[in-house]
Every structure is written in C-alpha cells, then in structure tokens.
C-alpha cells in the first residue's frame, strides 16, 4: 500500500493517490489532473476510480476531468443538495477492492450533507482499518465547519458530532488523511501536520475530544466562518462537472506596458491588476489601482474581490511566480488572465516619469499610539482581521471591518478621514489599503508590524 499526497498551496487542499499492486484510486483530485496521471505512470499503476469525500466549495474539483480523461467512475456520497451529474452515488457500507486494499464507505454528514469518509484495510496483512480519508469531517486538531446550511446550523453540528463518534470507533492506530491542512478556510485551528491517527486526535483534538453532544453543538454554532462570494460558483461547478477542460497553460508575458494606461483601466473597471510580490515591494512601488495579494493571500482573499468576467493582469517577480498565481486563480474559477508583468519601474520622484505608479505609506505602532493620545477626530484605526482574532486581542478605539467585507462596506468609509489599517503582521492590512485606495479612498496607510508591533509597545 502506497499513499502519495498532493497539496494545493494557498488553498491548503490535500488530495491523494492510493495504490496497491498494479491498481490505484484517487481521493478529492484538484483540477490540474496531470499530477495524478504522471504519479500513476511513475508507479506503473492503473487508476481504477475516484472518490470525492464531499461537494467542495472553495475550489473546482478535478474529478470530472480526471474521470473523462481516464474513462473511470467517480463515487460521491448520498444526499447531495443537487445531483452530481458526473458521479455515481455510494453509501454507508459500500465496499471497493483496489489491489489488496478494501475501501469501506462511511457516511459522515455534518460539514455537508453528502460527506463521506473512506476506511481502508490492507487485506494482504489484516482486515483492520489502517487508514481513513476523512475529507472535511475530521482534520488534524480541528473538525469541519457546519455553517453552509442557513437555519440548519444546530442540526448540522449535531450530525457532525454523530459522524465523529462513528470515526472514533475506528482503531486508534488508523492514520487519518484529511482534505485540508493549516490555512484552509474550511476550519480554524488546524495543525501544520497533515496526518495524524484516530487515537491521537481523540485525545488531543479540541473538538473531536468533546463527548457531550450539546456542548459540541453549542461550541460549533458559536464559531465565526466566512463565505466568499465565489463559493456559490464552485458549488455549481462541482455538481455539473463544468470547466473540466480548463486551460492550464502559462500566462502571456507583457513586456511593454504603460503604467498610466493600466492604472486608468483599473479605475475604469476594465481590468483588475493582482500584485503578488512581497508587501515591502508593493508598498515601495506598484501600479496605482492594483490590488495586493502577495505572501500567500491569493487563495484566501482574491475571491472576495474578483468577479467571473474580470480581465486580470498579474504583477509578479518571475514567470514561474506568475504561473503559480494563475493556477491558483484558475482553481477558483477565475480564468480570464490576460498576462503577467515583472520588473516594475522604480519610483523616481519625478511626477511626469512616475505616472501610473505610486507607493503605500507605512506608519509605526508608536505613531498610532501618539494619534490616540492627540485624540484626532479625522483619523480612524481600522482592524481587518477575522472576528475570532479580534475577540482574542484588539487595540482599544479601533474600528473593525473584516477584510473580505471591505467591498460591501465601502459606502461606510469617509473620504475626508485618514485610515490607518492593521491586521496581525501588516500583510492583510496592505491588501485592505489597496482595496480602499482602488475604491477612491486615498488617505490610507498601513501600521507596520500591525498587532505584533503594537504588543511590543507594552
């Protein structure tokens, strides 16, 4: 038995190729299906089938594309909200033989109504379950979110509790392989490790270790999660198998460009420029009107600010960096990438030369403290972190708007007020500042070091 895992960076999504002898199956494939085909070829195994542990909301599944390419079946759990057109339904107790492996289906609703887990035994040695693919039901140090069904949060949390009890009856030594790792929007407290065991999680996982159903439900419904606008499109794609022939080629290099013209197109909503360089590089020089999603923010936050038909240009440090960014965007259904730019001109200080380029000001934690001391009425300190971060620790006197909600809240901002933005480290605050400036709120700066710097003052 061999298990090969594949991680989609940014999304922190995990998929698997599981093989025995000359045969294999794939769990929760990503859209770039050549990854699994190449891996199977190198192992000299034939992929027999595909399992999806649930309907995904945060990326386009590659199951339909892989099934079409290899002419193999896809198995999906029962009780899906809509008929999954490219898959066959599998239910609790169904069993599949792949080489010497026995794959047993466990219905585990809670995260979604169609969630399943896959308990695997290596029958060449024993019938005991040795591994379990837990989808978004059980993570390392966390469990799945249960807020995808409005007005059914309590019911879904209760169903997840029962599903977890089913998993807890598996052997303690069974290794778990979840569908997401740390950084995913599908959970909140995942550990950096991407595998664990049933026994370890039963003892140490804060939610899995809860034995009282009512307490579990109460804790789950109090969680704060966010639903990015593009999720709705992902759900539709992942029941119809749309976009299964999506182009995964490299974007075009834009060698000659006029920053002033591109800036005008940004402000006229003709293009969206996505800058994925570092925070410091963006603050130093960027195309006026561009949005910052560097340092790993594309998968987490771009979906809040992009629309299906947006024409996108990527500003990156290299062609490889741009290609990686475009792949992340395409996994999320944003396919209209027109090209990429590298080597932005450096600001000279000459207004005629620098047309279309600008910088973003930084301010220190000490300066923020002094602003509070002077009680300025034309200044606002804006916190763009998640609600649970703010509940844990916040700067007294600051205003809170979650980063993903900025676009829908723009009308509440006063263009005559100066905004200093902070987050945990300054990275998300830079994105927020770029969003505000693109919306016409020009008096914006970023608190350098943000919460980390503030805490060092005391």
Residues in the chain: 458
Is 119 contained in some domain?
Answer: yes
CATH code of the domain containing 325: 3.40.250.10
Are 100 and 48 a contacting pair, CB within 8 Å? Answer: no
Total structural domains within the chain: 3
Looking at the structure, do residues 288 and 168 belong to the same domain, yes or no? no
Residue range 388-407: mean pLDDT, rounded: 97
Which position has the token pair 């599981």? Answer: 18
If DSSP codes are grouped into helix, strand and coil, which group holds residue 395?
Answer: coil
230-274 pLDDT per residue, tens: 999 898 889 988 655 456 567 899 999 999 999 999 999 999 999
Please tell me whether residues 354 and 367 are part of one structural domain.
no
**Structural element, H or E, at residue 8:** strand 2-8
The residue with greater pLDDT, 458 or 101, is: 101
Q: Write the pLDDT tens digit of every residue in 185-207.
A: 887 789 988 889 999 999 999 99
Residues 366 and 353 in one domain: no
Q: How far is CA 439 from CA 180, 357, 382, 406, 443, in A?
A: 34, 16, 16, 10, 11
Residues 94 and 171 in one domain: yes
Q: Where residue 109 sits, what CATH number does that domain have?
A: 3.60.15.10
Q: What is the pLDDT of residues 270-319, one digit of tens each?
A: 999 999 999 999 999 999 999 999 999 999 999 999 998 899 999 999 99
- pLDDT tens string 204-237: 999 999 999 999 999 999 999 999 999 998 988 8
Compute the mean pLDDT over every residue in the chain, rounded to the nearest whole number: 95
What integer pLDDT is reported at residue 242 of this predicted model?
A: 67
Identify the band that residue 20 occupies on the pLDDT scale cut at 50, 70 and 90.
Answer: very high
pLDDT above 60: residue 19: yes
Asked if 325 and 268 sit in the same domain, the reply is: yes
Structural domain of 424: 362-457
Residue 351 confidence class, pLDDT cut points 50, 70, 90: confident
How far apart CA 248 and CA 237 sit, in angstroms, is 17
10 confidence band (pLDDT: 50, 70, 90): confident
The residue written with tokens 């509790």 in the block is 161
User: Does 56 fall in a domain?
Assistant: yes
Whether 133 and 8 share a structural domain: yes
**Residue 404 confidence (pLDDT) above 60:** yes
Is the pLDDT reported for residue 436 higher than 60? Answer: yes
Cβ–Cβ under 8 Å, residues 253 and 197: no
Among 240, 268, 301, the domain-final residue is: 240
Per DSSP, which regions of 127-167 are E strands?
129-135, 138-139, 142-143
Q: Are residues 432 and 376 in the same domain?
A: yes
Q: Is residue 251 situated within a structural domain?
A: no
Do 90 and 77 form a contact (C-beta atoms < 8 A)?
Answer: yes
Residues 214 and 114 in one domain: yes
247 inside domain? no
- Strands 379-383 and 418-422, by their bridges, are parallel
Strand-pairing partners, residue 428, are: none
343 shares its domain with 379? no
Please check whether residues 387 and 432 belong to one and the same domain.
Answer: yes
Residue 436 lies in a domain: yes
The pair of structure tokens assigned to 449 is: 């070091």
Among 309, 326, 358, the domain boundary falls at: 358
253, part of any domain: no
> Is 403:427 a contact under the CB 8 Å cutoff?
no
Kindly indicate the confidence band of residue 377, based on its pLDDT and cuts at 50, 70 and 90: confident
Whether residue 114 is predicted with pLDDT greater than 90 in this model: the reply is: yes
> Are residues 217 and 311 part of one domain?
no
Residue after which a domain boundary falls, among 300, 334, 358:
358
Whole-angstrom distance, CA of residue 403 vs CA of residue 163: 33
455 Cβ neighbours under 8 A, 6+ residues apart: 393
Would you say residue 64 lies in a domain? yes
Domain identity same for 436 and 318: no
> Does residue 18 lie in a domain region?
yes
């Amino acid at each position: 038995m061999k298990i090969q895992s594949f991680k989609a960076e940014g999304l922190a999504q995990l998929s698997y190729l599981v093989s025995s002898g000359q045969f294999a199956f794939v769990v929760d494939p990503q859209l770039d299906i050549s990854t699994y085909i190449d891996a199977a070829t190198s192992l000299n195994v034939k992929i027999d089938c595909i399992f999806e542990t649930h309907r995904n909301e945060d990326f386009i599944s590659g199951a339909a594309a892989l099934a079409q390419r290899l002419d193999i079946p896809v198995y999906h759990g029962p009780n899906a909200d809509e008929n999954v057109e490219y898959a066959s339904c599998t239910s609790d107790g169904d069993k599949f033989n792949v080489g010497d492996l026995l794959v047993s289906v466990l219905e585990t609703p809670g995260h979604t109504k169609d969630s399943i887990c896959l308990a695997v035994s290596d029958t060449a040695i024993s019938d005991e379950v040795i591994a379990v693919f837990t989808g978004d039901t059980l993570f390392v140090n966390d469990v799945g979110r249960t807020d995808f069904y409005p007005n059914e949060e309590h019911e879904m949390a209760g169903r997840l509790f029962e599903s977890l009890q089913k998993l807890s009856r598996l052997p303690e030594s069974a290794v778990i392989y979840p569908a997401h790792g740390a950084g995913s929007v599908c959970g909140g407290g995942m550990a950096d490790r991407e595998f664990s065991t049933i026994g370890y999680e039963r003892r140490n996982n804060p939610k899995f270790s809860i034995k009282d159903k009512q307490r579990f439900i109460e804790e789950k419904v109090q969680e704060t999660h966010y639903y990015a606008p593009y999720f709705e499109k992902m759900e539709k794609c992942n029941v119809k198998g749309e976009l299964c022939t999506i182009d995964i080629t490299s974007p075009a290099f834009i060698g000659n460009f006029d920053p002033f013209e591109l800036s005008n197109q940004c402000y006229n909503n003709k293009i969206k420029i996505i800058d994925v360089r570092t925070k410091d590089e963006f603050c130093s020089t960027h195309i006026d009107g561009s949005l910052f999603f560097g340092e790993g923010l594309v998968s987490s936050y771009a979906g809040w600010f992009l629309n299906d038909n947006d024409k996108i240009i990527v500003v990156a440090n290299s062609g490889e960096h741009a290609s990686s960014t475009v792949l992340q965007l395409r996994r999320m259904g944003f396919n209209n990438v027109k090209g990429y730019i590298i080597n932005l001109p450096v600001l000279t200080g000459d207004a005629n030369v620098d047309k279309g380029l600008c910088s973003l000001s930084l301010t220190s934690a000490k300066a923020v403290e002094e602003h509070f001391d002077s009680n300025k009425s034309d200044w606002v300190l804006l916190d763009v972190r998640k609600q649970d971060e703010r509940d844990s620790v916040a700067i007294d006197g600051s205003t809170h708007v979650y980063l993903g909600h900025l676009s829908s809240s723009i009308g509440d901002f006063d263009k005559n007020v100066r905004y200093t933005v902070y987050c945990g480290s300054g990275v998300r605050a830079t994105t927020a500042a770029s969003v505000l400036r693109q919306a016409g709120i020009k008096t914006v700066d970023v608190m350098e070091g943000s919460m980390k710097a503030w805490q060092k003052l005391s």
